A and B are shown apart, each in its own frame.
Chain A
Amino acid sequence: MRRAALLAIAAASAPAAAAANPADLFGFGARGAAMGGAQAAAASDGTANYYNPALLARAGDIRIDVGYQLAAPSLLVDGRDLHVDGSRGVAIDLAVPGRLGRLALAVGTAVFLPDQQLTRIRTLPPTQPRFSLYDNRPQRLLLAANVAIAIGDRLSLGGGIAYMSSAAGTVALRGVLGFPDRNDSDLDLAIDVDLRTIRYPELGAALRVLPWLDVGVTYRGGFRLVIDQAFDLRGDIGSPGRDPIVADAYFKLHSISQDQFQPAQLVAGAWARLTPRLGVAFDLGWHRWSAFENPAAHIAIELDVGEFNDLVDLPPPASLAAAHFADIAVPRLGVEWIAHAAGGRQLLLRAGYVFEPSPAPEQIGESNFIDNDKHTASLGAGVVLPHLGAEVPRPLGLDAFVALTVLAPRDHHKLSPVDPVGDYRSSGRVLSAGLMSRWRF
């Protein structure tokens, strides 16, 4: 029975199907990422689907952006790499302008399609050290659809929803559980799993305050993926053809955990074209990490093996300590400079900086939700080509970026000397890069 319990725990802990946000961590699109993600007022292409949907309304033509991004973390504890998985995938966005009567509007969509796994869900043991913001959050599909309207020449509003899916399911086994020879088992297996749609809102507003100054504000809803899984075994224990040792035995393991947490975010930004060639963007975001809960599994076990119940000592359900994360403010700074412009061709150089304080407290107790203050410096370049013949009559943009995030070393001092993990120092870096082509039709 212990083995069955272990199997059930393993099943409930195993990756299932469904949904956090690589764009939050590494940016979306090469231009935005090169400018430190300071795009709440500065997004000028289909990446507005992520940064501020209201800016979609400023699209004068159909825009399709296709790119590829990757991030390779090297996250260390006590100087040793935990080999946290990288994130990589295709970023695609679309913005289609139109009119509804006198109203100018645009619809758009954005997708980040990871090429390792569409979405990964997992539940780690409650005390296992993990970099909470990088551990699993980038391993996710991002899918958003938006609509925007222009109100007059200066104001635009936009909003939409992003989609995810949670998982709820049961693995049921019915029949005879062989004992003492497990090969005598004769069990029917039924699996019932629902991938339930989860939606969260994205809202934005943008205002052209002055001909050279735009401001914007964006709200992205919070999100958490609930994984509800059960392992249900009912049947007789014994050998076929003989009276069962235990008739109608019952074992059920129910696990509820959460993964892929994304905090609600409110971002305000400005984009100032200080000269015809130089623009500066600044965003300040508020991220509601205080809603983050301990992601470990709440496990409940029920067991009925008749007269043998007294011989089985089930562990009491473990109580999970609160994570005690705090809300954070994230400043972002981006610069774009038109280094060369002639004959419709442009060469643009970009740079950015982000400071993201850690929402996680020093890990002094049993939990090990590791995170550090993060400094990100980014560089990028873009070219705009006026046209490439009849097939591509509109300007084509090609952008690239590279960014380095440095996790400032942080010490974690445990309160108890019998803590099995002990004190440790966390640090690391994340190198990300990407390319994006921007097509206009």
Chain B
Amino acid sequence: MRAAAIVAALAVAGCGLGVGDSSGGSDNLPTLAAGPYARLRPAAATAAAEPWLLTATDALLRDPALLPRADGGLRVWLTIDPVGDAPPEIGYAELPGPRDAPDRVVARVVAADQPWEEGRVGAPAVVADGDRLLLFYQGGVAAPAIGRAESTDDGATWTKAAAPVLAGARAPSAAVVDGVVHLFATLSDRPGVFHAVDDGRGGFTVDPTPVVAPRPDVDGAFDRAAVADPCVLVQELATGRLHWSLWFTGFDLDPGDERAAPSVGYAASFDGTNWQRPGDVGPVLAAPATGPAVLVRQHGGLMLFSSQRNLRDAIAAAQHP
């Protein structure tokens, strides 16, 4: 009994009853991945040439669209604009991760074959709708419009609608909410990014109030001259409420001005109709960057965007936080 008491005393004196050390409560912090974003820094032990993800020697790569692969990898659709006279087409690539080399290199998957496309397609936006994938893309030159295609084999083949779904519009981004497709795009005749809703008759109804518009009167605003290239993402939060995020390209000078320094901005909404922008005037990703595509991951966000590498547009990656 005496020995038992001593053992008990030693036990309660307590050495070695430890539990594992942890992070101090900083793991898995919630985030909507709004930003800010920072370009991936080069790392010695990776296969990628960070921040560059996809490059080509014979083409400009632009306007990425992004979906997650089942194994955590990345599925990327993009515009391939060949050097020379060949018209732009829509390409596709896959990567195990943002610091890996593609395990499916960029290849053309959709070409222009409809009269209204005027030989050019690009600026893809891909969204999953149940078992099918929906592709919205920009076609046309003199009369730009947004077309629609559908794939029931996970993107292997696409079936296009014969007519465009939204005329006079460019650079689409799409979300499916309660079975209804919502498009965000720029319009040919008005500045800003606009919201259009599937009218159920093969077309879309545009809300005339822009979701975001240039801010010429705001000192220091990164988007004084123009906004373009929307990327919309709708998440159902743990509280059951929907949250709409919109990233877009902002231009400080006219997009045609070679001195322009485009960067990426952010806006958000709880209902897709009433939008707010952060209080500061800066971007969430510094220039030069256009055509953002965002994937929200468990601990943050991954953004792909277009930027110039060796005077040619390529796809780069940035992350938050």
Contact = CB atoms under 8 A, between A and B. Distances in A.
Interface in B210-260: 237-239, 241, 243-244
A423 B25 contact: no
Contact of B32 (A70, A83, A420): A420
Interface residues of A, number: 51
Contacts of B153: none
Contacts of A423: 237-239, 241, 243
B268 A83 contact: no
Nearest 8 A-B pairs (CB), nearest first? A68-B14, A417-B268, A80-B28, A84-B25, A83-B22, A422-B32, A425-B238, A423-B237
* Residue with the highest number of chain B CB atoms closer than 10 Å, among A72, A84, A89, A420: A420
B227 to A, nearest CB: 16
Contacts of B5: 385, 388, 392, 396
Given A129-B30, A416-B276, A85 B13 contact: no
A134 B27 CA distance: 15
B277 A418 contact: yes
A152 B238 CA distance: 60
B239 A425 contact: yes
Interface string A384-405: 0100110110001010000000
B19 to A, nearest CB: 5
B29 A129 contact: yes
A435 B12 contact: yes
Nearest to B298: A80
21 contacts: A66-B12, A66-B13, A68-B13, A75-B25, A77-B29, A77-B30, A84-B22, A85-B24, A129-B30, A388-B5, A398-B12, A413-B241, A417-B243, A417-B269, A418-B267, A418-B278, A421-B29, A422-B31, A422-B243, A435-B12, A437-B9
B310 interface: no
Interface in B40-91: none
Contacts of A419: 32
A85 B20 CA distance: 9
Contacts of A422: 30-32, 237, 243
A411 B238 contact: yes
Interface in A233-262: none
Contacts, number: 135
B19 A115 contact: no
Contacts of B14: 67-68, 88-90, 115, 435
B2 interface: yes
Nearest to A433: B17
Given A68-B17, A86-B19, A422-B30, 8 more contacts: A75-B25, A82-B28, A88-B19, A122-B24, A389-B1, A423-B239, A424-B30, A435-B14
B90 to A, nearest CB: 31
A422 B35 CA distance: 12
Interface of B: 1-2, 5, 8-9, 11-15, 17-19, 21-32, 34-35, 237-239, 241, 243-244, 266-270, 275-278, 298
A184 interface: no
Given A82-B29, A130-B25, A66 B9 contact: yes
Given A417-B276, A420-B34, A422-B31, A83 B25 contact: yes
A67 B276 contact: no
Interface string A118-151: 0000100000111100110000000000000000
Contacts of A416: 276
Contacts of A96: none
B28 A77 contact: yes
Contacts of A421: 29-32
Nearest to B27: A83
A122 to B, nearest CB: 8
A174 interface: no
Interface string A317-355: 000000000000000000000000000000000000000
Contacts of B277: 418
Given A85-B22, A418-B277, A70 B28 contact: no
A436 interface: yes
B1 A388 contact: yes
B28 A418 contact: no
Interface of A: 66-68, 70, 72, 75, 77-86, 88-90, 115-116, 122, 128-131, 134-135, 385, 388-389, 391-392, 396, 398, 411-413, 416-425, 435-437
B245 to A, nearest CB: 8
* Residue with the highest number of chain A CB atoms closer than 10 Å, among B1, B15, B18, B25: B25
A82 B16 CA distance: 24
A418 B34 contact: yes
Nearest to B9: A437
B296 to A, nearest CB: 10
Contacts of B13: 66, 68, 90
Contacts of B298: 80
Given A77-B29, A84-B22, A425-B238, A389 B2 contact: yes
Contact of A420 (B2, B8, B12, B31): B31
Contacts of A388: 1-2, 5
Contacts of B26: 82-83, 128
Contact of B268 (A86, A129, A385, A418): A418
Given A389-B2, A417-B276, A423-B238, A67 B12 contact: yes
A398 to B, nearest CB: 6
B291 to A, nearest CB: 22
B25 A88 contact: no
Given A67-B14, A417-B270, A437-B12, A85 B241 contact: no
A2 B24 CA distance: 28
B275 to A, nearest CB: 8
B29 A70 contact: no
A72 B244 CA distance: 37
* Residue with the highest number of chain B CB atoms closer than 10 Å, among A385, A413, A417: A417
A86 B22 contact: yes
